[in-house]
Amino acid sequence: MTRELRDRVALVTGGARRLGRAFTLALASRGMRLAVHYGSSANEARDVVAELREQGIDADAFGADLRDPAEARALPDRVVERFGRLDVLVNSAAVMERIPIEEVTVDAWESQIGLNLRAPFFLAQQAAPHLRAHHGTIVNIADLSGFEPWRNYPVHSISKAGVVMLTKVLASALAPEITVNGIAPGTVLLPEDYDDARRAFLAETTPLQRLGAPEDAVAALLYLVEHGTFVTGETIVVDGGRLLRR
């Protein structure tokens, strides 16, 4: 079974930059109306919205600090107030900071856990009544670090492992009306400060012997949102086989 996406409404958190932007544009290509959330990337969000409107897509930008539970909880209702419904929630907003375990502060812990894990939970909680009305779907963006310990990114790894379990818990709790799945991208969009040598090393140590691209993660998203009507509680790993190295 295939979901009809045209004129349905999607909320993409962190939808103005990097993978979030790719997810936003992909869903818009299916004729969806887009709520583009941003934290600090207001200019980028406005640019994405302007680009979509030029294509005839109904889109709007929504600023919110998702580290603040009140703002996270309020966002789904704001989207429904603007668009009249909500069909798809993509929890893409996240932060990844390299902080060795000895240097993790309480503030750093709260910041990463708050955005990467707590916010997706409360967004899903508050979006659920709206999604249930239209047999909608949630897609949580995890990470390879949710499956393997990155010792220099301990809080990030812990938060993304939590996202994998959050996906299972939500899928069980929100069935049968709502499907909930995840995507764990690998080397599909590297940090901007990675040099050529590091990029080459990552490609060489990936079983498929290449880096991925945002389109690889986008393909997984479109499958789950458009065709994955009998899939729930799963996290699709899109990594060129890097987990095979364990």
CATH number of 9-236: 3.40.50.720
Q: Is the pLDDT of residue 75 over 90?
A: yes
Residue 207: partners with Cβ closer than 8 Å, 6 or more residues away? 240, 241, 242, 244, 245
Q: What is the pLDDT of residue 129?
A: 98
The average pLDDT across 39-43 equals: 94
Cα-Cα-Cα-Cα dihedral sign, residues 170, 176, 179, 182: positive
Please give the share of the chain, as a percent, with pLDDT higher than 90.
Answer: 89
pLDDT tens digits along 147-157: 999 999 999 99
Q: Is the pLDDT of residue 20 over 80?
A: yes
Please list the alpha-helical segments (H only) found in 191-232: 196-204, 214-222
**Three-point CA angle 213, 218, 219, nearest 5°:** 100
The encoded tokens of residue 197 equal 């040598």
Q: What is the pLDDT of residue 230?
A: 97
The average pLDDT across 45-56 equals: 97
CA distance 59 to 33: 6
Q: What is the pLDDT of residue 196?
A: 84
Q: What is the pLDDT of residue 246?
A: 63
